[in-house]
């Protein structure tokens, strides 16, 4: 199992550009989520999904869109990048039932810089 994979690892954008951060998992997990991590702020939830076709907002959803057309993939779209979106982005997944439910597996992260 590859677990949770994210691409790209690093990205530099200019203000106003758009892009999609990719996230995929091969564990057949129902739940997937996106977090951003900024110094001193911990992990803040952007969006999450409990299954294909079902998404909802987290703590800091503004400026980001998500969709979930398959169980495996959960891309995060930045609509018009702003310097305030400079951060490290983590994707995570977990089961929603069973012995290891809600044990989140995190991807390696994408380090995004917006100039």
Partner 1 sequence: QQPVQSPQAVILREGEDAVINCSSSKALYSVHWYRQKHGEAPVFLMILLKGGEQKGHDKISASFNEKKQQSSLYLTASQLSYSGTYFCGGNTGGFKTIFGAGTRLFVKA
Query: Does residue 90 belong to the site contacting partner 1 (CB under 8 A)?
Result: yes
Q: Which CB sits closer to partner 1, 27 or 45?
A: 45
3-state secondary structure of 59: coil
Q: H or E segment at 88?
A: strand 87-94
Does the N-terminal peptide bond of residue 8 adopt cis geometry, omega within 30 degrees of 0? yes
Query: Does residue 77 belong to the site contacting partner 1 (CB under 8 A)?
Result: no
Give the Cα-Cα-Cα angle 91, 94, 95 (nearest 5 degrees).
Answer: 155
Stretch 57-76 residues interacting with partner 1 (CB under 8 A): 58-59
Query: Does residue 89 belong to the site contacting partner 1 (CB under 8 A)?
Result: no
Interacting residue with partner 1 among 33, 85, 93, 110 (CB under 8 A): 33
CA distances from 54 to 9, 37, 38 (A): 26, 24, 27
- Number of other residues whose CB lies within 10 A of the CB of residue 14: 8
Query: Does residue 96 belong to the site contacting partner 1 (CB under 8 A)?
Result: yes
Stretch 40-59 residues interacting with partner 1 (CB under 8 A): 40-45, 48, 50, 56, 58-59
Query: Does residue 102 belong to the site contacting partner 1 (CB under 8 A)?
Result: yes
Residues that bind partner 1 (CB under 8 A): 31, 33, 35, 40-45, 48, 50, 56, 58-59, 90, 96, 102-109
């Amino acid at each position: 199992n590859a677990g949770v994979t994210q691409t790209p690892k690093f990205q530099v954008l200019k203000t106003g550009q758009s892009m999609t951060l990719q996230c995929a998992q091969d564990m057949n997990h129902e739940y997937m989520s996106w977090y951003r991590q900024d110094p001193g702020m911990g992990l803040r939830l952007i969006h999450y999904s409990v299954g294909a076709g079902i998404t909802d907002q987290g703590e800091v959803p503004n400026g980001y869109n998500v969709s979930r057309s398959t169980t495996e993939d959960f891309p995060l779209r930045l609509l018009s990048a702003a310097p305030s979106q400079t951060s490290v982005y983590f994707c995570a997944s977990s089961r929603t039932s069973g012995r290891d439910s809600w044990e989140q597996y995190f991807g390696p992260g994408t380090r995004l810089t917006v100039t």
